[in-house]
Amino acid sequence: MVILKEIVETLKPIEVIGNTDRNVINAIQLDEENQRDDVLMWVSAKFSDKLKNISKGIILCGSLPEIVNNDCTYLLFENPRLAFQKVLTEFFMPPKKIGISGTAVIGNNVKIGKDAYVGEYVVIEDNSVIGAYTTIDHHTTIKNDTIIGENVIIGANNTIGGVGFGYEKDETGEYVFIPHIGNVVIGNNVEIGNNTCIDRAVLGSTVLMDNVKVDNLVHIAHGVQVGRNSLVIANAMVAGSVQIGENTWVAPSSSIINQKKIGNNVTIGLSAVVVKDVEDGHTVIGSPAEEISVALKKKKLLTQKVYK
């Protein structure tokens, strides 16, 4: 439980309308039927019309309803969603776990930084480095020589630093495996979800730069470089030696074939299949992926032909 005044002092809203002496016991989804005055909600501009229907509670919003309800307290922000994120982080997050679980397996010459957490049945192989304040959740395996920065969050059931898929035919025509003798390097403040694989490089390093966010069920192959502050979302597949720039969004179920270069501030659309390089600032969609204006033009022409 927290007193609303503490939230106000921390977040410093543009304006406060209503009583700030009340207690806040929980944060909930926007609920037009809510009858409690001790819960906190947020509303985006898209759903601001729902404000008029809310009769109780504390609401983080970008604008006021036409009629202000006296049983509500309104906190106005330029970005209510970001304000809600800060409330959850500051006041409602469970205490951070620290320490090494009894079932964890730690290899030789492993370095684990201050106040890190290693969950149940985690395996950290030889010569790996885990930075301070980093969390590795249950059943995740960190393969040998992996380097992980500070304040990293890694979920459950991941494999970081396993070998990738690389084969060549020998003199008899049989496929033979190419050894992967590189490693994985993960920067600071990176977050990785659950059930994700990030492969070690054949030579050199697979690298995730600072503040990269990787969702559940993602495959990042050997030798990939992901630039600072980029996001790779659920079911995405990033093939070997791809280079992704900064502030780039790789959408769910998209695929990038090997050795392609993706620029800074790029958006790769839902289920796109990227088969060529993408320049800075572009948005690509479709299969094969094309710049959005080109793809939509082709779609329009195709529709016109079908209905002629």
Going from the C-alpha of 143 to that of each of 139, 181, 241, the distances in angstroms are 13, 12, 19
**Residue with tokens 């020998």, as numbered in its chain:** 170
**Which residues are registered as beta bridge partners of 132?**
none
Of 138, 139, 180, 222, the catalytic one is: 222
Host H or E run for residue 305? helix 292-306
Closest CA to 40 of 30, 48, 51, 52: 30
DSSP of 62-95: SS--SS--TTEEEEE-SSHHHHHHHHIIIIISPP
Going from the C-alpha of 50 to that of each of 64, 65, 71, the distances in angstroms are 11, 9, 16
Q: Is 222 a catalytic residue?
A: yes
Alpha carbons within 13 A on the beta-carbon side of 89: 8
Structure tokens at 128: 């790996």
Catalytic machinery residues: 222
